[in-house]
Amino acid sequence: MKKIPLFLMLTFSCCLSAQHFKYGVSGDFHKGSIVNVHDASKGKYGGGLGGFVQWPLVENDVFDSAYLYLEPHVDFNTQGEIAKAENEIQKYSSNYVSMSVYFRFFFHQGNMKRDLFLFAGPRVEYLVSYKRDTSQFYEDAYYKFNLDNKVNRLNYGVTVGTGLQISQQWEAFLRYDRGFAKFYSDNPANTYNRLLAIGLNYYIKSNW
């Protein structure tokens, strides 16, 4: 597991040193939750902002006809969940710095690239801050069930998604993130993060 962040950093460095690449910024709005813990979870809305680099894995040309890319992302995002128990609302807020490496595939016919694409790849997240807003009454009554005092700082998982190229500079996407690491380490259940996001990519520059 410790080798995953190193692999992602090396991949990102290789892309920056590649001869042909383009880069931009990305933002999203999402709803996420922490699975298998807390009562009547309603999920939590949040957002993310970051940057990305794209590097073609197949032959490209001046018309940008490549259909397969390697695409590292770095972003800051808010996650967590909102739950309800005993007629009270419990709020759990997590802030992450994340890095992903996507393989992006455009549907194509010959060298004619379509606007629709799919992407998937590994994701690593580091928990920058964690805050809980609950009453002492709730903690006293439910801690024995939740076992949620200790959190893991490092999370890893996978991302899958689809998107549409709107113009040369803009793209819209739909993305699902699924964590594999346990969020609450003392809880015997598999308490992982998940979220569903919609967002936009904006290309700043390309060097082909």
Q: How far apart are CA 114 and CA 123, in angstroms?
A: 26
| pLDDT of the residue at 11 | 53
pLDDT-derived band at 110 (thresholds 50, 70, 90) equals confident
Domain spans of the chain? 3-206
| pLDDT of the residue at 202 | 98
| pLDDT of the residue at 3 | 52
Q: How far apart are CA 22 and CA 165, in angstroms?
A: 15
Q: What is the DSSP letter of 139?
A: H
In three-state secondary structure terms, 140 is: helix
How many distinct helices (H) and strands (E) make up the chain?
Answer: 2, 8
We find that the CATH architecture of domain 3-206 is Beta Barrel (2.40)
CA dist 19 to 67, 73, 106, 162, 189, Å?
A: 17, 19, 21, 27, 46
Contacts of 121 (CB under 8 A, 6+ apart): 71, 100, 101, 102, 103, 158, 159
Residue 34: in which H helix or E strand, if any? strand 22-34
For residue range 179-199, what is the model confidence (pLDDT) as tens digits? 999 999 999 999 999 999 999
CA dist 143 to 19, 35, 90, 92, 159, Å?
A: 54, 16, 13, 14, 31
Single pTM value for the model: 0.86
Contacts of 62 (CB under 8 A, 6+ apart): 208
Q: Which residue has the higher pLDDT, 5 or 110?
A: 110
Q: How far apart are CA 85 and CA 138, in angstroms?
A: 8
Q: Which residue has the higher pLDDT, 18 or 43?
A: 43
| pLDDT of the residue at 163 | 98
* Token pair 């629709």 in the structure block, residue: 116
Residue of 139, 152, 144, 142 whose CA lies nearest to 185:
152
